[in-house]
Amino acid sequence: MHHANKQDNLTRRSFLGGLTAAALVPAARASTAPTAPVAIARCPSYGSELLPALARMFDQLGGLGRLVKGKTVAIKLNLTGGPDSRLGYTPHEDAHWTHHRVIAATLHLLSKAGARRIRLLESPWATTEPLEEFMYAAGWDPAAFTSAAAGVEFENTNYLGRGRKYSRLWVPGGGHMFKAFDLNHSYEDCDVFVSLAKLKEHATTGVTLAMKNLFGITPCTIYGTGAGVDEPSPAPVGGRQPLHDGLRQPSKSALPENNPGSSHDDKYRVPRIVADLVAARPVHLSIIDGINTMAGGEGPWIPRTRPLHAGLLLAGLDPVCTDAVATAVMGFDPMADRGTPPFERCDSTLRLAEEHGVGTRDLSRIEVLGVPIAEARFDIRKSGRTRTG
Amino acid sequence: MPVRWPAGEFWASPRSLDLLTGTPFNCLVLPWSAHNPEVQFTPLIEAGRSRGLQFACCLEPEAAHEKTLAAAKSASLEVIPLAERAKIPWQSPPPVIATSEAEWPAVRASSQPGAAAEAGPTGLPWIDSNGWFARLAATLAPRTTLWLAFQPPKDQVLRPNSYLLAVADSAVYGARWIASLDAKLADGLAAGNSQSLDAWRRIARAAAFFEKRREWREYRPPAILAVLSDFRGDNEFLAGEALNLLARRQLPCAILEKSKVALGTLSQFKAILSVDREPPETQLRAALLEFVRAGGLLLCQPSSGHLARGASPLESHPRFHLHKLGKGRIAIAREEMSDPYVLAADAHLLLSRRHDLYRTWNSIAVGTYYTVSAGNSKAVFHILNYAGWPAAFLAVRIHRPYRQARLWKLDSDEPAAVKMITDGNWTEFHLPAIFVYAALELET
């Protein structure tokens, strides 16, 4: 399959600016939202079958070379929660974090495809400590990443980090909740942006996949509980509760919400903010680790969650399309909205991102490569094993 | 093994001594004061002596009335000096010393209405523990036995597990708690209440657990980081809190009294945190520079900036000037280090967690103490749960291959098996729910 890459022949700034201009036109909405293929692979473990499975998926999507050759690639990982909190005895990577072997394999393939520089990004919980140190605390060895590819860098994006100033990324069309976000420089200083996510349910947004992973790109120095009032705080304190409940606005150095009087319901707010983020910071490649994961929620802090072996990987060139297919694979209807699983109590991030024109959630318009959805589908609500110990 | 003997009619009578039958408590610390006529204890003391028991009182030397002291001596009581931490005579310590400046071990309750616990800067609950001070005392006065004279908090209803934690938090680190009962428990025992008797038996059993394992006290923590100080005067607070908070980060550290440091004695460490405001004198300076040139990391106060003379500047750090000297690094604080939490975190991260000797998970209100035998073939990993509720799904990974592990709990005479996962360089243990205390006894 050879689908035109949105970013071919564009610089990163013209690409972002072009998107902004395009979206000034009222959103074409669902029927005309772009589509892109999604690859599904069975992968029973993180062993020797992982690398060929990922390579095959990237080939099915048209190859990594034309996307990353000579480029700076930024990868947002999903390392949610603290490094010292496991789901029962299950290591982070086998439950709620992107597995380190998926990260290493992706790095290897990106490097092989000619990526010049690859930056691993995450906003660790309430700290300015280096991302590598956060990984050590979880029992990971970051050397696994630096040895998997040349030119691998790490940055903690929960604060200013190594940048001189925050980068303002605009939401095309003005956004559901925010017109723009002030982010760590890493989210602007890259040519290709990858969301390397985990296949999970989510207490607030129903599911968390490639798109919800971007909620963590917001620095808590500006958007967090302990954010500075006028200027960003030097260090993040606490989580992103203000984004959940809207009870305070971001630091005044950033743009406030479009309507600070809007709902305080996190299940209204968070899906919209995620859709805005995905529009502001386009995702060129979405990879979802569904080999070992968890059911019932996004992390061990959610009651009645449990480890789950699904043995699946997904990848796609559009995050809405990829998440729509992943949602279907989890046993849900991606066209569902508030009131219907998995969005019983929340709005659909898929619909809200689709309304931004990011991509379609309509499976009939999405080409699925590799394992068909019908064969990959499982009911995540009925899956997983009880924690014992 | 001391127990603070309550006041009251029952406790002054010889029949109260029956409570000690089968327990390790053998020294009764009497409520001795000028206002407390000693004569009421005479029958108790006589009966106790006939059972081989000892009697003592703890008195603050400067506060002790001559009359009280004389009465104690005439009753042949052992007078244990009771001092605040800063007033302990480390240069010439007595065989036994007690300190009143000790905490009831627990997660610190919040001063905020409705909040469950007070959080430290990490969001982790703040833990009150005397472990750091017991370790410091064992270093500064290795031949002295430290008695911790903390008493039950008056504003709380204590469960038996709280007492077990008080025993463990002292004994694990080589000190002894003067076992002290709250009024409700003391009254219950006096009345023969079965629940009180059961609680008392559990306390005694916990104390006996550590007495039976005296060899563990000879084990020493393997440490890659050392805190260097004289631990006195103006340096006492920062040095002591650094020990406390490094322990909270599960980062084992050695305690170095700076007058005892000589050339060639620091090579076992990867990092040294020099806390004192005074610059090091000649001999210490030479030892520190030797340590750095050989590859070590030295963190020190701005007053020690001259140590970096001739060193090359390294990358910037918000709170330190970093320099390379020989194979090692010197981190000179930009401003005087005064916040022990920040200091502990900086020391840990400048050293890097990649050197951590062990990690734990699901251990939010858990304290750990890892010690090894002289030959390194045996080890004990102590786990103390300060939470008041069970620590579930606790996992421990020690960066050392161990072949055998036994899990001891206070309420069992037999060790339990524990799930071990090994991966060449490390061994991971998946522990059952721990209510108060457990120890992993390990062999390579």
| Identity of the residue in A89, A137, A141 whose CB atom sits nearest the CB atom of B430 | A89
Span B105-119, average pLDDT: 62
| Identity of the residue in A85, A133, A387 whose CB atom sits nearest the CB atom of B361 | A85
Distance CA A365, CA A225 (A): 40
CB–CB contact A89 B395 (8 Å): yes
Taking the CA of residue A389 and the nearest CA in chain B, the distance in Å comes to: 6
The type of residue at B418 is V
Q: Tell me, what's the pLDDT at B98?
A: 94
Structure tokens at B442: 């390990």
Structural contact between residues B327 and B295, judged by C-beta atoms closer than 8 angstroms: yes
| Identity of the residue in A85, A126, A389 whose CB atom sits nearest the CB atom of B430 | A389
CB–CB contact A136 B363 (8 Å): no
Whether the CB of B187 is below 8 Å from some CB of chain A: the reply is no
Going by C-alpha positions, the residue among B326, B336, B260 that lies closest to residue B299 is B336
State pLDDT tens for residues A147-157. Answer: 999 999 999 99
Taking the CA of residue B131 and the nearest CA in chain A, the distance in Å comes to: 22
CB–CB contact B354 A141 (8 Å): yes
Share of chain B above pLDDT 70, in %: 94
Write out chain B residues lying below 8 Å of A130, CB-based.
349
CB–CB contact A389 B356 (8 Å): no
Task: List residues bridging with A202 in a β-sheet.
Answer: A206
Whether the CB of B432 is below 8 Å from some CB of chain A: the reply is yes
Distance CA A374, CA A73 (A): 33
**How deeply is A226 buried, as exposed, middle or buried, from its count of CB atoms within 10 A (0-12, 13-18, 19+)?**
middle
Distance CA A83, CA A26 (A): 43
Give alpha helix (H) positions in B75-191. 131-140, 160-171, 183-190
CB–CB contact B123 A126 (8 Å): yes
Task: List residues bridging with A195 in a β-sheet.
Answer: A76, A286
Distance CA A313, CA B124 (A): 35
Q: Tell me, what's the pLDDT at B118?
A: 54
Confidence of residue A26 (pLDDT cuts 50, 70, 90): very low
The answer for residues whose C-beta is within 8 angstroms of residue B194's C-beta and 6 or more apart is none
Q: Tell me, what's the pLDDT at A230?
A: 98
CB–CB contact B393 A141 (8 Å): no
Element (H, E) at B46: helix B42-50
Going by C-alpha positions, the residue among A300, A312, A289, A310 that lies closest to residue A387 is A300
**How deeply is B323 buried, as exposed, middle or buried, from its count of CB atoms within 10 A (0-12, 13-18, 19+)?**
buried
Span A235-250, average pLDDT: 94
State pLDDT tens for residues B141-199. Answer: 999 999 999 999 988 889 999 999 999 999 999 999 999 999 999 999 999 999 999 99
**DSSP letter assigned to residue B355:** G
Taking the CA of residue B226 and the nearest CA in chain A, the distance in Å comes to: 20
> Tell me, what's the ipTM?
0.91
Task: List residues bridging with B370 in a β-sheet.
Answer: B381
Distance CA A192, CA A190 (A): 6
Question: Which strands make up the sheet holding B78-83, listed edge to edge?
Answer: B2-4, B27-29, B54-59, B78-83, B96-99, B145-148, B176-177
Task: List residues bridging with A163 in a β-sheet.
Answer: none
Structure tokens at A3: 């689908």
| Identity of the residue in A85, A130, A238 whose CB atom sits nearest the CB atom of B362 | A85
| Identity of the residue in B122, B361, B433 whose CB atom sits nearest the CB atom of A86 | B361
Q: CB pairs below 8 Å between A and B: how many?
A: 42
Name the residue with higher pLDDT: B435 or A22: B435
Whether the CB of A344 is below 8 Å from some CB of chain B: the reply is no
Write out chain A residues lying below 8 Å of B123, CB-based.
126, 238
Distance CA A97, CA A197 (A): 8
**How deeply is A111 buried, as exposed, middle or buried, from its count of CB atoms within 10 A (0-12, 13-18, 19+)?**
buried
Name the residue with higher pLDDT: B38 or A104: A104
Whether the CB of B416 is below 8 Å from some CB of chain A: the reply is no
Span B100-121, average pLDDT: 68
Whether the CB of A162 is below 8 Å from some CB of chain B: the reply is no
Whether the CB of A133 is below 8 Å from some CB of chain B: the reply is yes
Instruction: For the beta carbon of residue B359, count every other beta carbon within 10 angstroms.
Output: 22
CB–CB contact B356 A85 (8 Å): no
CB–CB contact B361 A84 (8 Å): yes
Give the A window 221-260 contacts with B, CB below 8 Å.
Answer: 238
Whether the CB of A387 is below 8 Å from some CB of chain B: the reply is yes
**Parallel, antiparallel or unpaired: strands B253-257 and B225-229:** parallel
Write out chain A residues lying below 8 Å of B353, CB-based.
133, 136-137
Q: Tell me, what's the pLDDT at A18?
A: 40
Helix (H, G, I), strand (E, B) or coil at A99: coil
Taking the CA of residue A231 and the nearest CA in chain B, the distance in Å comes to: 18
Taking the CA of residue A292 and the nearest CA in chain B, the distance in Å comes to: 19
Distance CA A245, CA A197 (A): 24
Supply the Cα-derived Rg of chain B in whole angstroms.
23
**Parallel, antiparallel or unpaired: strands A167-170 and A180-183:** antiparallel
Q: Locate the chain B residue with the closest alpha carbon to A130.
A: B349
Task: List residues bridging with A295 in a β-sheet.
Answer: A306
Q: Locate the chain B residue with the closest alpha carbon to A127.
A: B122
Strands (E), B289-431: 297-300, 312-313, 320-325, 328-333, 358-361, 366-372, 378-385, 395-398, 404-409, 419-422, 427-430
Structural contact between residues A290 and A5, judged by C-beta atoms closer than 8 angstroms: no
State pLDDT tens for residues A263-313. Answer: 999 999 999 999 999 999 999 999 999 999 999 999 999 999 999 999 999
**How deeply is B120 buried, as exposed, middle or buried, from its count of CB atoms within 10 A (0-12, 13-18, 19+)?**
middle
